[in-house]
Amino acid sequence: MDFTWLAASGVLVGIIIFALKVSLGCGLASLSRREVLLIAAGYLGISLFMGVAVELLPDDLLTTALDAGVALHLLVAMLLVALGVMTAKNWNSHRHDISRKTFWILSLPCPACLAASFISCSFLAGIVKIEPWKIGVVVGLIFFFSIAAFSGFLGRIKRAPSAMGHAMIFLGLFYLMSMLIIPAYLNSQKISFVPTDLQFMEVAYSYLTILSIVGLGFIARKRGIPI
C-alpha cells in the first residue's frame, strides 16, 4: 500500500494547525480584513522562499539554523506566557484591551512556524517528487487561505480580549512541554541527525522549563491573576 499521499496529508494538516495559531491572534485581536490579508500574504511569501531555499541552501547551514531555533523556540514560549498573562490581567483587572499590542507573538512568524514551513516543503518535495518551489507555493496558499478563513471565523465570535491571553498562555506552556517531550522521543528513536553531545543542554532546558512554569504560576497567584 502506498502511504505517500497519507504522509503528505499529515504534513498539510500540520500546516493548517500552525495557520490556526496565527489566526488566533488575528481573529481574537479583531484585526481588519486588510491586516489579516497582509499577514497571510507574508506567510505565502515565506513559504515560497522556503521552497526555493530547500534547493539552494547547503545542508550544514540548514542544520545549524534548525539547531539555533531551539533557543528561539524557548524565547517565543516565554513571551507567549508573559504576554498572555499581561493581556488577561489587563482585561480582567482593568478592562483595558491590549490585544492589538500583544497579538504579534501569535500571528507573526516564529521559529516554530518557519521550521514547519521549511520541513514541510522539504518533506513534501521528497515524497511527491515535485519541484520544491512549487511545493512552497502550495504550502503558502494553504497558509494564506487557512489564515484568512480562520481569522474571519474567530473575528465573528466576539470573545473578550482575555480569551486571547488564555490562548497565548496555553500555547506557551505547550511549546515549553514540547521542548521536553520531543527531544526525549527523538533520542529514544536514535535518530542519526540528533547530536548526542547535547544531553547537558537538554537537561538544562528541562530544568529551566520546569522552574519557569513554577515561577510564573507563583507570580500569577501572588498577584491574583486568573489563568
In a domain, 172, yes or no: yes
In a domain, 2, yes or no: no
Tell me the per-residue pLDDT of 76-118, one tens digit each, with 9 for 90 and over: 888 899 999 999 989 988 888 999 899 998 888 776 667 666 7
In a domain, 49, yes or no: yes
d(CA 172, CA 22) in angstroms, rounded, equals 14
In a domain, 104, yes or no: yes
d(CA 132, CA 109) in angstroms, rounded, equals 20
- Look at the chain and report how many structural domains it folds into: 1
Task: Read off the pTM.
Answer: 0.72
In a domain, 227, yes or no: no
Q: State the residue for C-alpha cell 499577514.
A: 39
Q: State the residue for C-alpha cell 495557520.
A: 19
In a domain, 4, yes or no: no
Kindly report the average pLDDT of the chain as a whole number.
76
In a domain, 128, yes or no: yes
Containing structural domain, residue 178: 9-222
